[in-house]
Amino acid sequence: MNSSRIKKAPCTIAFILTLLFSTVAGAMLVNVTTANPMAFLPYITIKSDGSVEPQTEFINQEGNVYTLTSDLVRNYAVKIQRSNIVFDGAAHVINGSFVTGYGYSNKGLSVESVTNVTVKDVEVRGFMIADAAIESTTKSFFLRLKAGFLYLENSDFNTIAESNIGHELMRYSNNNTIMRNTIDLVELGAGLNNTFFENNFATKFGWSVKEGNFWDNGSIGNYWPHYKGVDANGDGIGDTPYVIMGETWDEQLNKDTQIAKGQDNYPLMNPWDPTKPIDTFPPRISISSPESKVYNESSVPLAFLVNEPSSSMSYSLDGQGNVTISGNATLGWLPNGSHNLTVYVTDRAGNTGVSESIYFIVAATETFPAVPVAAASIASVTVAGVVVLVYFRKRKRQTVAA
């Protein structure tokens, strides 16, 4: 009997050890998962057709303007896939941070393959891939964006202004304007003709900079905390250029390997004041009607989108004087033939934007308003009848008198 118990003991001990190991391993797995989960937030997507999916009270849509109505705290990220819109964060936060540990593993604000989009007044933080990602996007405007990590990839002719960025990474992006921002660290991959001016750069180190970019706009540069030049004439601009060194992390360890990758010819002696932003951007105007086609009617709708509030609007038809309008309008009773139209919008800061000129053709079967013409014909007949009646009355009187 004792021999039987001895034979069973190893099995019992093995079972207990296996159970204990599984429990400990499971606890460790839970702890690791809790500490560093690969968790993704669902997206609120502004789709290419303009719809919002899922439909939610967090996004208010009025025409082509989409407004965030409250903070998004660990419930949604946002993805923009529609061109020619305004996304207004309304000073809200898209927050992917956990209370402790890492944030969610996706992108907080993703702008994908669009053009002519304005994103403004939003803070994004706590996301692992990127707080804000601008990918394959052109001719768009990012104003007062706050993000710990922002990257542009394959994106050209965009503007980032009056924003606060911890780490900015640009890859394969060209002809972008980066102005009036506070930036801790910049990395530039392949890309050319990107212009930086009126930025406050908080650090000298951590740079990976490529040649072929511009560090001033021809008269104003950036603020560099390590600039040692002087300002003899007191105009706020250093008298000598600030040389931009291609400092990778390896080059920081060996200063002899550093290579100059550009220079700021007009370095600022003091930071620009982010509490006093200056609007120097003209409005962006996108015309949806008329289109470049043939119209079979003499009245053509005028419809367009502006990316900011305006103080005045007008249009010029066929190079004639500007006609003041208050918004969308109708171009009435156009003569047959070719026409061109240009829209002008002035914002509240006095900047005037000019749309591209739209060329179209009117080939209407009736080029004059039927009702006014008919009314004019009746009026003519009536006047003629009165004249004839007066004439006959006069002839009758003359006959009687004779």
pLDDT single digits (tens) 133-166 = 999 999 999 999 999 999 999 999 999 999 999 9
pLDDT at position 117 is: 96
- 83-106 pLDDT per residue, tens: 999 999 999 999 999 866 568 889
CB-based contacts of 86: which residues, under 8 Å, 6+ apart? 64, 65, 66, 117, 118, 120, 307, 308
> Is the bond into 369 cis (omega within 30 degrees of 0)?
no
pLDDT at position 363 is: 95
* Confidence band, pLDDT 50/70/90 cuts, at residue 244: confident
Phi and psi at 29, nearest 5°, equal -65, -40
Q: How large a percentage of the chain has pLDDT more than 90?
A: 55
CB-based contacts of 202: which residues, under 8 Å, 6+ apart? 182, 183, 184, 185, 225
CB 314 within 8 A of CB 325: yes
pLDDT higher than 70, residue 308: yes
Q: Which of 128, 34, 118, 106 is nearest to 80 (CA)?
A: 118
What is the rounded distance in angstroms from the CA atom of residue 87 to the CA atom of residue 81? 11
Query: CA angle, corner 210, sides to 209 and 214, nearest 5?
Result: 90
What is the rounded distance in angstroms from the CA atom of residue 360 to the CA atom of residue 339? 5
CB 317 within 8 A of CB 331: yes
Work out the average pLDDT over 188-202: 88
E-assigned strand segments in 247-368: 260-264, 285-289, 294-295, 300-306, 310-317, 323-325, 329-331, 337-347, 352-354, 358-362
What is the rounded distance in angstroms from the CA atom of residue 67 to the CA atom of residue 50? 13
Q: What is the pTM of this model?
A: 0.63
* Mean model confidence pLDDT for the chain: 80
pLDDT at position 351 is: 84
Work out the average pLDDT over 353-366: 92
pLDDT higher than 60, residue 3: no
Work out the average pLDDT over 221-231: 91
What is the rounded distance in angstroms from the CA atom of residue 211 to the CA atom of residue 243? 12
Q: Which residue has the tokens 């250093």?
A: 238
CB 364 within 8 A of CB 297: yes
